[in-house]
């Protein structure tokens, strides 16, 4: 029986460990995406627009919610297509949002394609498409 050289064994172990570490990093990235999309959904659903803004990419983030958002009450938020990784640090999800215009008590809905980008330095996912464009003047 031939003996396996210790360096070869060490090299094989290192390759297996690196593969495992990469998989753990990807799983962590997916967990962070799930957490970000869920937190954003909850913030919008309950009308916490200040909190929802915190999920937007910092350089694209408005300082405060617009005044017209005070007239919006989100009544439903359905994930039509869960987040799909499109590139290493990009994801897209489709949602349907139902909302009521408070001043008119009229139900409206919109479909939105959300683009999320992973920031390695911050270990966070940022929404790059901004807050939904609620139609308020029909």
Q: Residue 133 pLDDT > 70, yes or no?
A: yes
- Look up the pTM and report it: 0.81
Domain hosting 113: range is 6-127
Give me the number of domains the chain comprises. 1
Cβ 59 vs Cβ 73: under 8 Å: no
- pLDDT per residue as tens digits for the range 48-106: 999 999 999 999 998 888 888 999 999 999 999 999 988 889 999 999 999 999 999 99
Whether 49 is in a domain gets the answer yes
pLDDT at residue 19, rounded to an integer: 55
- pLDDT per residue as tens digits for the range 6-21: 666 555 555 555 555 6
Whether 76 is in a domain gets the answer yes
CATH at residue 26: 3.10.450.50
Whether 44 is in a domain gets the answer yes
């Amino acid at each position: 029986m031939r003996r396996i050289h210790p360096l070869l064994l060490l090299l094989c172990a290192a390759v297996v460990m690196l593969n495992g570490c990469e998989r753990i990093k990807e799983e962590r990235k997916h967990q962070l995406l799930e957490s970000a999309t869920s937190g954003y959904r909850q913030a919008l659903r309950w009308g916490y627009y200040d909190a929802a803004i915190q999920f937007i990419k910092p350089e694209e983030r408005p300082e405060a919610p617009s005044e017209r958002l005070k007239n919006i009450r989100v009544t439903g938020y359905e994930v039509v297509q869960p987040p799909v990784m499109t590139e290493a640090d990009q994801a897209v999800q489709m949602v349907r949002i139902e909302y009521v215009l408070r001043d008119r008590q009229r139900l409206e809905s919109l479909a939105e394609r959300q683009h999320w980008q992973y920031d390695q330095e911050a270990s966070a996912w940022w929404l790059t498409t901004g807050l939904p464009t609620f139609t308020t003047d029909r």
